[in-house]
Amino acid sequence: MLYTESRPPAPPSALPANGSTGLRMSDSVKYRPEIDGLRAVAVIPVMLFHAGLGPFPGGYVGVDIFFVISGFLMTAIIYREIAGRKFSYSGFYERRARRILPALYTILFAAILPAWFLLIPADFVDFGQNLIGVVGFFSNLTLWMQSDYFDQAAELKPLLHTWSLAVEEQYYLVIPVLLMALYKFAQRWILHLVLLLLAGSLAISHWGAYHKPTATYYLLPTRAWELLTGSVVALLYARRDWPHSLRWIARHNGSLSLLGLLLTAIPIFAYDKHTPFPGLWAAVPVLGTALLIACAQPGTLAYRLLSNRWFVGIGLISYSAYLWHQPVYAFARQQTLWRESGALMFGAFAVSLGLAYLSWRFVEQPFRNRARISNRTVWLVSAGGAVILAAFGWLAIRSDGFEGRFELRQPLTSATFDLPARANGWCFYSVDTNTALEVGEAGLQCKLGAQDGASDILLFGDSFAGMYEPFWDTLGKELSHGVDVITTNWCHPSFTESFWWPNPTRAREQCLQNRAYVADHLDQYRVVVISAVWSMLEQKGLMHEVHELVSVLAGEHGIQVIIMAQPPALTRPSVLRAVYRYGTPQASADEPLAEKANFALRKLAAGNERVYFLDRESLFADDTTCGQVLSADGVPYSWDGGHISIYGSQAAARNVLRSDAMAELASFIEGNP
């Protein structure tokens, strides 16, 4: 959300009878309070949505409203100066620096201290990468590249929201050059060409919302059309050769501005996290914002609502409010004194608004005053702040997140508090998180357990199967069996082509090869162990595929099938608190689905003598712990709230080995159901 003064070309309240727009370049300096009010309409739903407060499941569209406002205001200023032969790149970017960097750098420096005390090393590395991305205005790229299967939960990233700043600044590297070129060489067709660019970006965005949603959400080419919509409105009112459009709008500004309010408000309440976005779904709030900018003139109901002093007041501090809210929320969720609750997040919301006022009053306002702060000072502060922040980010990366700040609770170590994978000596073939791995046969060749024993046991599934590799390595050695392992990201055990992860990924290619290989080599195995993130299959309606697979394995081929229970689903922050500091992990919102899926699989096994369900009680409970989340050592089995760690998998193996279930499991493996 780029802060810009609300001084755009004002829509005329009445057009001359001769059809001329009646606009002059001096009209562009008129202050428009309704645009500040519109900023409030954008920022409050965003803040409440991120806090999880109120009925605003589509509050994220506030960012799209900001994009349109920003595109309108900046294009109006740039075009006015180009037409008046007053535009200079140095002057333009000096104004940008004054308005953006002081408040931004204030928040970044302020975020370092709580990050130091609250972020674990891996997350601090991400924080360092994001710091560099923010000062270089490419944080949308760093956040996009961090968005993988095992990434930190979005709501815990203090600088997540800076992706929109990066998108806007990238846009403002391009739009002045574009407008200069079009004004010089194709002035007559400038609006047509901008509309053409808008249409192309929208088409790519809509395709990407369904096929590459993460990249589409973060990157400029698929967001540019929203800023270009604002640019189109600015060009319509800055040029004199579009009188018919303006005259028609002027006659209907009351009804059109009300329509704009409706289109802007509906998505805030009607959209949710499952809405394909941005694409055509984003066109609703974008069009609504454009109508409000164009038609909410003095005298209309929309103008009176938006120019209310409370809306305008919030709009004035909206840039600082947007900057403060995400780090305040993230650290509120990371802290260890209070559990996350509605009261805690409402307090964080209130704190964000308070800090926003302070930074607007004592940072934004002074730096906008050229009489108080010279251009030279602005550039020195900007350059110095960027160097310091980027250097700190680099140090955070090089030092592995200043890992000496925390010590893992014994007996955990950095080697065992991890997920098993090829990179650390195990078998999980994570082709999406390890780019050194190639899709192909290498993902099919890995053996654990007794190396000199027959490889007649197969572990098959996704990362929730991969996490059990240390468990089956231990049991395989105990029972003198070799265990072949075929596991890949998101690849639930099945012989179909279904793949629940929505993004195109190399993992899908590897998954199809995994399934084909297993289907062709079933005669090699007496026992097949399957595991997956069962709660997701339950949510996606794919549990029937597990039943079909079991029918093929146990029914058609007479293979013994072992189904591994999904561990308790926990919140990541609570796991990290227990691992690095203190406390007991807490159940996450996915736990009811995990329990439901486990119950269904237990029922499936009860009806088939060739199917064995290895339950949570056997895996994660022992005589010294209460419940199934802490081991005998008093530390979590879990790694990230979903997967168990290498330590957790080995601890689960120790539990089973000394339990009554071991004899039963061994008998089943040997073919005595």
pLDDT tens digits, one per residue of 496-531:
999 988 777 899 999 999 999 999 999 999 999 999
Q: Residue 312 pLDDT more than 90?
A: yes
- What single letter denotes the amino acid at residue 377? T
| Alpha helices for 543-658 (secondary structure H) | 543-550, 572-580, 591-606, 616-620, 646-657
pLDDT at position 18 is 32
Q: What is d(CA 215, CA 81) in angstroms, rounded to the nearest whole number?
A: 34
pLDDT at position 638 is 96
Q: Specify the pairing of strand 527-531 against strand 482-487.
A: unpaired
**Count of Cβ atoms closer than 10 Å to residue 263 Cβ:** 19
| pLDDT band (50, 70, 90) for residue 240 | low
Query: Tokens 């180009």 — which residue?
Result: 82
Domain locations in the chain? 25-404, 422-669
Q: What is d(CA 281, CA 271) in angstroms, rounded to the nearest whole number?
A: 9
| pLDDT band (50, 70, 90) for residue 673 | low
Structure tokens at 610: 């060739």
Structure tokens at 380: 């020195």
Torsion angles phi and psi, residue 106, rounded to 5: -60, -45
| pLDDT band (50, 70, 90) for residue 29 | very low
Contact (Cβ atoms closer than 8 angstroms) between residue 226 and residue 68: yes
Q: Residue 219 pLDDT more than 80?
A: yes
Q: What is d(CA 218, CA 224) in angstroms, rounded to the nearest whole number?
A: 11
| pLDDT band (50, 70, 90) for residue 28 | very low
Q: Residue 4 pLDDT more than 60?
A: no
Contact (Cβ atoms closer than 8 angstroms) between residue 553 and residue 522: yes
CATH number for the region 422-669 comes to: 3.40.50.1110
Q: At CA 27, angle to CA 23 and CA 29, rounded to 5?
A: 160
Q: What is d(CA 215, CA 127) in angstroms, rounded to the nearest whole number?
A: 20
Contact (Cβ atoms closer than 8 angstroms) between residue 434 and residue 421: yes
pLDDT at position 20 is 31
pLDDT at position 623 is 60
pLDDT at position 145 is 84
| pLDDT band (50, 70, 90) for residue 433 | confident
pLDDT at position 584 is 84
Least Cα distance to 65 among 233, 389, 220, 282 occurs for 282
pLDDT at position 539 is 92
Span 43-84, pLDDT tens digits: 999 999 999 998 999 999 999 999 999 999 999 999 999 988
Mean predicted confidence (pLDDT) in 399-405: 89
Span 622-646, pLDDT tens digits: 666 657 899 989 899 999 899 999 9
Contact (Cβ atoms closer than 8 angstroms) between residue 399 and residue 625: no
Least Cα distance to 575 among 405, 402, 412 occurs for 412
How far, rounded to the nearest angstrom, does the alpha carbon of residue 404 sit from its chain's CA centroid?
A: 28
Span 335-384, pLDDT tens digits: 877 878 899 999 999 999 999 999 999 999 999 988 899 999 999 999 99
Span 593-614, pLDDT tens digits: 999 999 999 999 998 999 999 9
Span 530-582, pLDDT tens digits: 999 999 999 999 999 999 999 999 999 999 999 999 999 998 888 988 898 77
Q: In what order do the strands lie in the sheet with 527-531?
A: 447-449, 482-487, 455-461, 527-531, 560-564, 611-614
Contact (Cβ atoms closer than 8 angstroms) between residue 125 and residue 405: no
pLDDT at position 252 is 79
Lowest mean pLDDT among 227-236, 402-411, 480-489: 402-411
SS3 for 392? helix
| pLDDT band (50, 70, 90) for residue 12 | very low
What average pLDDT is seen over the chain? Answer: 89
Q: What is d(CA 319, CA 153) in angstroms, rounded to the nearest whole number?
A: 24
